[in-house]
Amino acid sequence: MALTVPCMKPVKTFQRQLQGFLWKSFFCISTVDIVKVKPPKKIRRKKQNMKAFDESMSWEDRLADAVTPLWRLSYDEQLHIKQQNQENILKQFSSKLSHLILAQQSPVVNDTSGFSVLPIMPSPVRDCYRNKSTFSVNKGVDGNPKTVGFYVGTGRDRNIICVNGDHLLNMPEKHKQVARCYQEFIRLSPLDSCLLFHKGGHWREVTVRTNAKGHTMAIVYFHPQTLVPEEIAIHKQALVDYFTKGPGAICELYSLFFQETSMTRCDHEESPYQLLYGQAHIHEELLSFKFRISPDAFFQVNTAAAEVLFTVAREMCFPEGAADRVGGTLLDVCCGTGAIGITLSPAVEQVVGVELVPQAVEDARHNAALNGVLNCQFLAGKAEVILPRIVPQLSSSEEGSGGGGVAALVNPARAGLHYRVVRALRNQPDVRRLVYVSCKPDGEAMRNFIELCCPPDPQKKLTGEAFTPRVAVPIDMFPHTQHCELVLLFER
Ligand SMILES: C[S@@+](CC[C@H](N)C(=O)[O-])C[C@H]1O[C@@H](n2cnc3c(N)ncnc32)[C@H](O)[C@@H]1O
């Protein structure tokens, strides 16, 4: 199969293209071996020239190499590298699985010899695509401990330098502007920045979220140390004044949140996101659906590429014809604000979403109502607790399922799915199709792929029929970085 990189196409054209690909791969070339492609000489040379840490380089270039390591390459070259990386990862998966099947001398013959890896889908937007950025606070190149930016070096090597990200290609100007203003504000503040929690200081990271309309949400993280609420209130007011009446007013913030926390990261329940100014949410539009986003909720970081991702996911969940209603149940595992489940809801009888972060679940429920979608329910909690309880009760014949079977779409964080989630899905015979969306398929997700496809193992209570990988589509969600999303279809 030719692995040419397609050029950027509008979503509709892409849909037709993908449908063609998927039909071909299901019915004509479903056992094509993964093709190993050698990058052109030019790319190999450039890769060798990219040094990890070079004293002669400017701090800006060092940061760009750390955060956006492919920035020196053309976009076609970037796509080529990512395609190759994904193919190598899938080759490892294929080979691990084949070894396991051979080692266990499994009588079950599972066709894992190869499956189609389709050409990577480019991001419709290449630069300034991030809708969310988190800027750290630490010592800058000049030693100023109130520098807002991104890290060069590591804590382990004790050589962290914070460099501002004004030149980074993936960052929109609005994010950079808020970071610059926040730096000015903390430099004016009598409070210290917090570099190491146990050494004191208060001002920590700032997260900036924007939507297509240009609405901007800033979330400032603050270590309270030993300050009492009345003291903290003075600094919160100074922050509001700076961003509403002071020099920071140029950012035109739509909302300003503040979280007091002595933990690296904590959710709204552990320490509330305090709305200091403006609106409590921003809204984003995706495939003609509207989504409310809370400060604590996950949303795909590149909205235009998320449309591509969700379109591919839809085609994979319902290859019979995504435009038609196919009935049945769609499980949206790790659903965030419900974005995938809601966009796919017209095709099914019901969507059941499961999500850990309570604010995201509230958003998901609100978003279903906002879009007049009545067939989605969203459950709050750990998927590993909820799914073993609900999945055995779902079946094609269940009342309300519409007889269309059960499809699962899983999109976990980097930690992958808990073993109990995989076991619940695998041991429910009515789950015939599973679409796995991963931003790190070479990590924990690989363990999940193996657990889904290995021969039945009564010791591990994996008794259900094994899944077979059918087709994989890489989608470039993060231009200029090494990362991309991988959508993998498993069937049985
Ligand atoms: C990569 S995001 C995907 C979100 C969503 N599918 C989307 O496209 O917007 C992963 C989500 O998994 C959630 N999550 C992490 N661990 C979880 C767990 N144990 N159970 C359920 N959800 C979890 C995170 O809060 C996050 O919202």
Domains annotated for the chain, with CATH where assigned, are 13-126+302-492 (3.40.50.150), 132-285 (2.40.50.1070)
Q: How confident is the model at residue 53 (pLDDT cuts 50, 70, 90)?
A: low
Phi then psi for residue 50, to 5 deg, are: -80, 100
CA of 360 to the centre of ligand 1 (A): 9
Alpha carbons 32 and 49: distance in angstroms, whole number: 34
- Residues 133, 139, 143, 145: what is their CA dihedral angle, to the nearest 10 degrees? 100
CA of 191 to the centre of ligand 1 (A): 35
**Residue nearest to ligand 1 atom 6, measured at CA:** 335
Q: How confident is the model at residue 18 (pLDDT cuts 50, 70, 90)?
A: low
Alpha carbons 327 and 321: distance in angstroms, whole number: 12
Beta-carbon neighbour count of residue 41 at 10 Å? 8
pLDDT exceeds cutoff 50 at 2: no
Alpha carbons 107 and 145: distance in angstroms, whole number: 63
Beta-carbon neighbour count of residue 246 at 10 Å? 16
pLDDT exceeds cutoff 70 at 204: yes
Q: How far is CA 265 from CA 123, 268, 295, 296, in A?
A: 29, 10, 13, 10
Q: Which of 195-199, 226-230, 487-491 has the lowest mean pLDDT?
A: 195-199
pLDDT at 7: 33
Q: Which of the listed residues 298, 303, 363 should we mutate to test ligand 1's pocket, taking the one with most ligand atoms within 8 A of CB? A: 298
Q: Which of the listed residues 268, 308, 334, 419 should we mutate to test ligand 1's pocket, taking the one with most ligand atoms within 8 A of CB? A: 334
Alpha carbons 249 and 253: distance in angstroms, whole number: 7
**238 burial level (CB within 10 Å; 0-12, 13-18, 19+):** middle
pLDDT at 41: 53
For this complex, say whether ipTM is above 0.95.
yes
pLDDT exceeds cutoff 60 at 136: yes
Q: How confident is the model at residue 324 (pLDDT cuts 50, 70, 90)?
A: low
Q: How confident is the model at residue 362 (pLDDT cuts 50, 70, 90)?
A: very high
Beta-sheet strands, E only, within 383-465: 406-410, 431-438
Phi-psi region of 418 (alpha: psi -120 to 50; beta: other; left: phi over 0): beta
CA of 335 to the centre of ligand 1 (A): 6
Cβ neighbours for 77, distance < 8 A, ≥ 6 positions apart: 39, 40, 42, 43, 46, 70
Regarding the beta carbon of 309 and ligand 1, being less than 6 Å apart is answered no
For every residue of 442-489, DSSP letters joined together read: TTHHHHHHHHHHSPPBGGGTB-SPPPEEEEEEEE-SSTTSS--EEEEE
| Interval 456-462 mean pLDDT | 91
Regarding the beta carbon of 354 and ligand 1, being less than 6 Å apart is answered yes
Question: For 8, which DSSP code?
Answer: P
Percent of the chain with pLDDT over 70: 84
| Interval 58-78 mean pLDDT | 97
Alpha carbons 170 and 160: distance in angstroms, whole number: 22
Q: Which of 42-46, 143-147, 215-219, 294-298 has the lowest mean pLDDT?
A: 42-46
Instruction: Provide the CB-side half-sphere exposure for 183 (13 A, CA).
Output: 24
Tokens of 445: 């997700």
Tokens of 93: 């998966």
**56 burial level (CB within 10 Å; 0-12, 13-18, 19+):** exposed
Cβ neighbours for 124, distance < 8 A, ≥ 6 positions apart: 8, 10, 11, 304, 305, 307, 308
How many residues are listed for the chain in this entry? 492
Regarding the beta carbon of 360 and ligand 1, being less than 6 Å apart is answered yes
CA of 266 to the centre of ligand 1 (A): 15
pLDDT at 15: 44
Alpha carbons 148 and 134: distance in angstroms, whole number: 10
The 3-class SS string of 81-105 reads: HHHHHHHHHHHHHHHHHHHHHHHCC
Please report which residue ranges of 68-172 form alpha helices under DSSP H.
Answer: 75-103
**Catalytic sites, residue numbers:** 439, 485
Tokens of 120: 């990577």
Q: What is the chain's mean pLDDT, rounded?
A: 87
CB 371 within 8 A of CB 394: no
pLDDT at 13: 43
Instruction: Provide the CB-side half-sphere exposure for 431 (13 A, CA).
Output: 31
pLDDT at 327: 79
Alpha carbons 149 and 163: distance in angstroms, whole number: 5
Regarding the beta carbon of 316 and ligand 1, being less than 6 Å apart is answered no
pLDDT in tens, 383-422: 999 999 999 888 755 555 555 689 999 999 999 999 999 9
pLDDT exceeds cutoff 50 at 35: no
pLDDT exceeds cutoff 80 at 105: no
Q: How confident is the model at residue 318 (pLDDT cuts 50, 70, 90)?
A: confident
Alpha carbons 366 and 370: distance in angstroms, whole number: 6
Q: Which of 165-174, 264-273, 400-409 has the lowest mean pLDDT?
A: 400-409
